[in-house]
């Protein structure tokens, strides 16, 4: 059994388990940085046979689950992210992706399979910097998004949708999923100037402006700080502040990456 301690910005994570599990998991988590909050230390213990894992905070087991032979790495990364969201005390979160052009941040929000990752990759191909995939952290006081830089989780259908990946490196691979860290990443907080809500699967794509109130409702429908009852008032105030000077658009597209130009035009203030 291997013990590995990671300092992910201000978050201390300890991994314990066989090297075949802690090695790839540590490689995926290592680029992640949590700034602007002080989450409680977290320990993940993977069984010696790699068939189960538990998450522990303050000597209390928060969760235990079986692990499959294939797909275990994505599950453990997802459990780590889910644990973090429950430990945040100041920052807000929403399930989404984000990139930045200069000091202008684009936040892509939608359910699983709507194309957030492929849209982020398409923007990176236009010269944007990588901010986050899967987990977007919002500082409600500064009204900025905090870079997380957890590697992109590139599934086969994402790879087919985007073609060439942006310049970067593969930090781990498990089954058909590649964990890819782009070279161009944001180095500091970015103001979320554009919110893009991925909804339907139209072909050709439809891109249209929406109100900030509609945007706030769309965020509330996703997995976000709204999902935790005790964070509801904070989430309402914080996301409303982040949206007040942003432009919002909704996108119905089978392949959102093909609508980059339309999104940039529609989201322009």
Is residue 199 exposed (0-12), middle (13-18) or buried (19+ Cβ within 10 Å)? middle
Mean pLDDT of 196-201: 89
pTM of the model: 0.93
Residue 123 has a pLDDT of: 93
How far, CA to CA in Å, does 112 sit from each of 50, 68, 189, 225, 228? 27, 21, 25, 17, 19
Angle ∠(127,256,118) on CA atoms, nearest 5: 60
Task: Determine if residue 144 is left, alpha or beta; phi over 0 gives left, psi from -120 to 50 gives alpha, anything else beta.
Answer: beta
* d(C-alpha 264, C-alpha 99), whole Å: 13
* d(C-alpha 1, C-alpha 48), whole Å: 7
The model's pLDDT over 28-86, given as tens digits with 9 standing for 90+, comes to 999 999 999 999 999 999 999 999 999 999 999 999 999 999 999 999 999 999 999 99
Residue 269 has a pLDDT of: 65
Contact predicate 256/200, CB 8 Å: no
- Please report the sign of the dihedral spanned by the C-alpha atoms of residue 179, residue 181, residue 187, residue 189: negative
* d(C-alpha 70, C-alpha 168), whole Å: 25
Contact predicate 46/22, CB 8 Å: yes
What ranges in the chain are assigned the alpha helix state H?
19-29, 72-87, 116-124, 156-162, 212-221, 232-243, 260-267
On average, the pLDDT of the chain sits at 93
Work out the number of other CB atoms within 10 angstroms of the CB of residue 95: 19
Whether residue 89 has pLDDT greater than 80: yes
Residue 131 has a pLDDT of: 96
Whether residue 241 has pLDDT greater than 70: yes
State both tokens at 160.
């087919």
Residue 196 has a pLDDT of: 96
Q: Which of 87, 79, 137, 80 is nearest to 107 (CA)?
A: 137
The better pLDDT of the pair 202, 134 is held by 134
100: Cα separation from own chain's centroid:
14
What domains can be seen in the chain, in order of their start residue? 2-87 (no CATH), 92-267 (3.40.50)
Residue 142 has a pLDDT of: 94
Least confident of 8-12, 139-143, 254-258, 265-269: 265-269
* d(C-alpha 133, C-alpha 98), whole Å: 6
């Amino acid at each position: 059994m291997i013990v590995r301690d990671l300092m992910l910005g201000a978050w201390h994570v300890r991994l314990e388990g066989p090297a075949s599990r802690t090695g790839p998991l540590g490689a995926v988590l290592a680029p992640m940085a949590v700034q602007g909050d002080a989450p409680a230390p977290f320990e993940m213990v993977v069984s010696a046979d790699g068939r189960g894992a538990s998450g522990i905070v303050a000597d209390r087991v928060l969760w235990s689950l079986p692990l499959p032979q294939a797909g275990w790495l994505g599950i453990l990364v997802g459990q780590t992210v889910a644990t973090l969201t429950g430990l945040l005390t100041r920052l807000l979160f929403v399930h989404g992706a984000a990139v930045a052009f200069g000091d202008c941040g684009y936040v892509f929000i939608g359910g699983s399979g709507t194309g957030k990752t492929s849209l982020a990759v398409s923007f990176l191909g236009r010269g944007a910097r990588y901010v986050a995939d899967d987990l977007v952290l919002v500082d409600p006081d500064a009204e900025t998004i905090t870079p997380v830089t957890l590697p992109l989780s590139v599934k086969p259908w994402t790879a087919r949708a985007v073609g060439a990946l942006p310049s970067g490196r593969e930090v781990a691979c498990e089954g058909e999923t590649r964990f890819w860290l782009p070279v161009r990443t944001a180095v500091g907080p970015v103001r979320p100037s554009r919110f893009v809500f991925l909804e339907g699967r139209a072909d050709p794509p439809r891109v249209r402006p929406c109100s900030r109130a509609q945007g706030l409702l769309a965020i509330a429908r996703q997995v976000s700080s709204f999902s935790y009852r005790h964070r509801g008032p904070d989430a309402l105030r914080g996301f409303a502040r982040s949206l007040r000077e942003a432009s919002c658009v909704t996108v119905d597209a089978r392949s959102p990456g093909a609508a980059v130009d339309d999104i940039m035009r529609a989201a322009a203030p």
